[in-house]
Every structure is written in C-alpha cells, then in structure tokens.
Structure 1
Amino acid sequence: MWILLAGALGALQPARRLALLLLALAALLGFYRDVLTWPVLPLLTGVVALVALRRFDPIRSRQHILSEALLVLMSLGLFLHLFPGFHNPLVVDEVKVGAQSLPFSFSFNFDKALIPFVLLACLPTLFRARACPPRYPWIAVLALIAAVPLLLGSAVLLGGLAVEPHFPPWLPAFMLANLFFVSLAEEALFRGYLQQRLRDALGGMPALVISALVFGLAHVTGGVLLIIFATLAGLLYGLAWHWSGRLWLATALHFALNITHLLLFTYPALHH
C-alpha cells in the first residue's frame, strides 16, 4: 500500500492519471487494512466535489477563490492530522537511535501524503513554477549543498545536536516515509503553494522570508531552538524552490538534510 502511495506521489507531476489510479488502489488497500475508515469518506467526497466544481468556475470568480480557500484549509487539516478516519501506523515507537538521542517515533502518514494531490488542484504550477535563477548557478548549487552540514554543525555548536552516527535497521522505512510523506508534503504546502502564492503577491524575497518563518513556527512544539533551526532550513528549501521553480528540488534538499541529520547526528535532538 505505501509503495503504491509513494508511486502515486512520484507520478503526480509527469503522469497525473496514473497517479490518481495508484492513489485509488492505495486507498482501497487502506480501507481493507483499516488504515482508512469511514469518517474519511466525507473528506474525500468534499475534495472531489470541490475539484470538480473548479473545472467549471471562471478562474477569478468568487466561487473559484472560495473553493481554493476550502482546499487549502483541508490541506492544513491533513498536515495537522485533524481529520478523523486516518489510522497512521507507527513504524518506530519511542526508540532511542543512540545513547545521546531523545526517544523518537515515526509513522506512515496517509493524511499528509494527500496534501500534494489537494494543492495541485488549487495551483497547476505546484510542481513546476516560474524559475528565478541566480546569476551564478553553480555557486548557488554549491552554497545550498554546503549549507546542509553548516546548518547541522551550527545546531551542534548551539547545543541542540551532537555528532552520533547511526545506521538503524528501519532506515529504508524512514527514507520512504520521510521523502514522500513528510518532505514532499511539507514542501508542497510551504514552498509549492504558500511561497508561490506569496511571490505572486509580494515578490520573491518577502515570499521567501515569510514562508520560512511560517515553516519555523509550524515546529513550535519542539521549542525555540527547533523553530530557529526549521526557519533557517526553510530559507534553504525556499531558495532551492525560488531559483529552480521545481518542487522536487526543494524536496530533495529537505530530504537530504533530514537523512544527514539521522545518519550522523543525535536524532531528533540531543538528550540533556
């Protein structure tokens, strides 16, 4: 089921019909395995109805704007796990990756995986938007790559992390979940949709800063240090998106930082 769902997300931009077919198969398996239960049906029905209505509304009509607002609110609800009927299975429950790490849990999240599907109905350029390339592209690429260890190293200096290499047995499951059901879902919401809409309204740099701040505040439950860390990471992901216009590039950078964090440092944070 989860491979089907990941495949649906991977196919969403180049082959939308195939993606929807794979999503339907994954959903059927989800109901069969009780990962999805009947309270999900009103939500899915509402999403399908809003998407269908948008096909017939003029782009700038009141109905079109209202339907987009409702779909974005649904995406926020999926992000925050507010909708009933999703029973996301725990893969790892309160496990310490290493001696210095805090206990850590993660799930396969069917609800968050739906976010790119919903937002693509709002914004056809979600995956491929207008690029604003830097003057020196290769320098920009190298700077983004170098920023990953620099950011993690800064977290070590601030006392939030420590160097602690790991290679946990559940690494393949983590990579699948983190790439498709975390990194892609979050980048679709914060970069592909929010930053793009803000850029259209306010310009590139205000959109970059605001979306990064909102991304940081979304991690408020982790404390002040995590908010700062997530905001700085959001600036990196936002630059990757702004320069390339490609959602998958921002997602790849997001995933690269997360997997580097897991493999080489205390995860999710240092136990004091």
Structure 2
Amino acid sequence: MLITFALLGASIASVWLPSWPLGQRVTIAPWAVLYVAATLAGQASGVLAWPAVVALSALAALCLGARHHVGHRGAWAWTLAAGAMSLALALHALPGFHNPKVLDAVRTSPQATAFTLYANFDKASAGLFLLVFFAPRLHSPGAWRALVRPTLLAFSVASAITLGAAWATGHVQPDVKVPAFAAGFLAINLLFTCVAEEAFFRGWLQERLTRVLASRARMAWMPALVSAALFALAHAGGGPLYTALVGMAGLAYAWAYAQTRRIEAAILTHFLVNATHFLLFTYPMRSV
C-alpha cells in the first residue's frame, strides 16, 4: 500500500518533467508511466477494486477526448464531462476505492481537536488528470521567478486574514510544533489535497470561466469570485465561520491564479497557508 501511494505522489510530482523520447515521433510522459504503476499496485494491495479502475479509465478517456476536440464544437461537452467525473471522484461518490487511514483520531497538541487523515486515491487521481489536461502550467525553470511575488503576496494576505480571524474568534491559537508525522502529513496535503483542489477550482473552473468572459472586461472579477465561492461551499461541512474563512482564503488563491494564469501559484499559496496553520497554530482547531 505504501508503494501505491508513493507511486501516485511521484506521478503527480513528475507532471513537470519533460516527456521521454521513444523514437523520432513518439514520446511518453513520466507521470503516465508512474500512474499506471500506481494503479497496478493499488489493485494488488486492495486499494482499488475493478469499479475504481473503470471510473479512472473513464476519466482518462474524457480528458483525452477534451484535448482531442479542442477548437471543435463538442469540446465543451467533453470538458464538462471530465470536470463532473473529477468532482465525483473528489467527493468519493464512486465505488471501488478503499482509501486507507494514515492517521486515526490524532491530536497535534493537548488543546487541539482530534482529526483523521486519509490517503485518497480517487481525489488525488482527479487532481492529477485535471492538472495534466486542463490547468495551465509553467514549462521552463526560469518562469518560476515570475510566481514569487504574487504567490508570497497572496500567501501573506490569506494567512494574515484567515488565521488572524480564526485566532481572534478563539478557534485557533499560536502553537508552534513539528509532530513526528509532519513530513507525511505535509506531503499528502500538498500532492493529494492542494493539487487536487486547485486543479479543479482554479485550473479547470476559473480558467474555463476566464476564457468565456475574456471579451467582457467588466466581468473580469467574476471567475475568481465564483471559484472562491464554490471552494467555500465545498467546505461548508465545517460550519459557517469555517466556510467564511475558507472563502477568504479561496479569494487569495483565486487572485494568485488570476495574476499569473499558472496553477503553480495557486497550489503554492494554498499549501503555504495550510502548512502555516499546521505548524504554527492549533490544528485543526481548539477543543471546546
């Protein structure tokens, strides 16, 4: 099982690697090789049953169809279908996935509430396919420099507002710590949570809305606002205050994406806020 998720994480991380040449006209992407290996390992370890493999194959087919039909009349139908399938996977609405618990009712500190952490193959896979087929990415090492300023600005604003408001309302308090499981938690949060959520809300949703409204200058703010609002609604199970805090953070992630039109800015901003919360404040919140 560990091999399954190590391969899945490596597949997501390798999206930024160049394809391998297999001849004059044929190349193969490292992420695809690693993902196939992760899927086979998932079947062998019991993480994936056959319905899960069928669902993942369907998502791959929809994403390939959307890419093939770019510029054609039916492109939007393929794109919407791929987004809907990705959302179903992210919400764990499809059968055949046996996502393991990584942490079970642990506390990061005595005053914190307990939380459980899963390694979600379905959500991570949805994020991977959206990242590969729909999210605009950087394609050269030098281009990363352009992300530094907007990412740090968005992170500073988001962490100050959201964590400041959570502290002011008594939901968290300063709590500097590095739990024994910190490295694993942060890796899962980055690769399986932040990538998946930003690939959907910014790389798929916000990017599609931005393209649709490109000719309407007065509505340039709409894609960011819609993606942030839906991002907040997706976390509504945490209660009104938590939903509002997530919405404010979502606006910062959406702004980072709007400024750069590159998914890396949104992913890094999201992860830096989450890491700051985890390492420097009560996580996930104070116990009553």
How many angstroms apart in 2 are the aligned matches of 1:266 and 1:118?
A: 33
Does residue 80 of structure 1 match 2:91?
Answer: yes
Does residue 209 of structure 1 match 2:248?
Answer: no
Aligned to 2:45: 33
Residues 91-131 of structure 1: CA deviation (Å, up to 9, x unaligned)? 111112112211111111111111234325653x53359xx
Q: Is the 8 A contact 1:68 1:122 kept in 2?
A: no
How many angstroms apart in 2 are the aligned matches of 1:126 and 1:56?
A: 17
Aligned to 1:132: none
The normalised TM-score by structure 2 is 0.84
Aligned to 2:168: 157
Give matches, 1:80-159, under 5 Å.
Answer: 80-120=91-131, 123=134, 125-128=135-138, 140=150, 143-151=153-161, 152-159=163-170
C-alpha spacing 1:58/1:221, structure 2 compared with 1 (3 Å):
closer
RMSD: 2.3
SS in 2 for 1:114: helix
The normalised TM-score by structure 1 is 0.88
Give matches, 1:172-191, under 5 Å.
Answer: 172-191=183-202
How many angstroms apart in 1 are the aligned matches of 2:136 and 2:208?
A: 10
SS in 2 for 1:100: coil
Give matches, 1:255-266, under 5 Å.
Answer: 255-266=271-282
Q: Is the 8 A contact 1:128 1:245 kept in 2?
A: no
Number of residue pairs the alignment of both structures matches: 264
Residues 123-149 of structure 1: CA deviation (Å, up to 9, x unaligned)? 3x53359xxxxxxx9875553242244
Give matches, 1:63-78, under 5 Å.
Answer: 64-78=75-89
- Which consecutive residues of structure 1, in runs of 5 or more, have no partner in the other structure? 130-136
Among 49, 54, 72, the residue aligned to 1:42:
54
SS in 1 for 2:50: coil
Q: Is the 8 A contact 1:47 1:71 kept in 2?
A: yes
Shift of 1:207: 0.9
The one-letter code matched in structure 2 to 1:150 is A
Identity %: 33
Deviates more, 1:184-193 or 1:163-172: 163-172
- Which consecutive residues of structure 2, in runs of 5 or more, have no partner in the other structure? 20-28, 140-146, 214-218
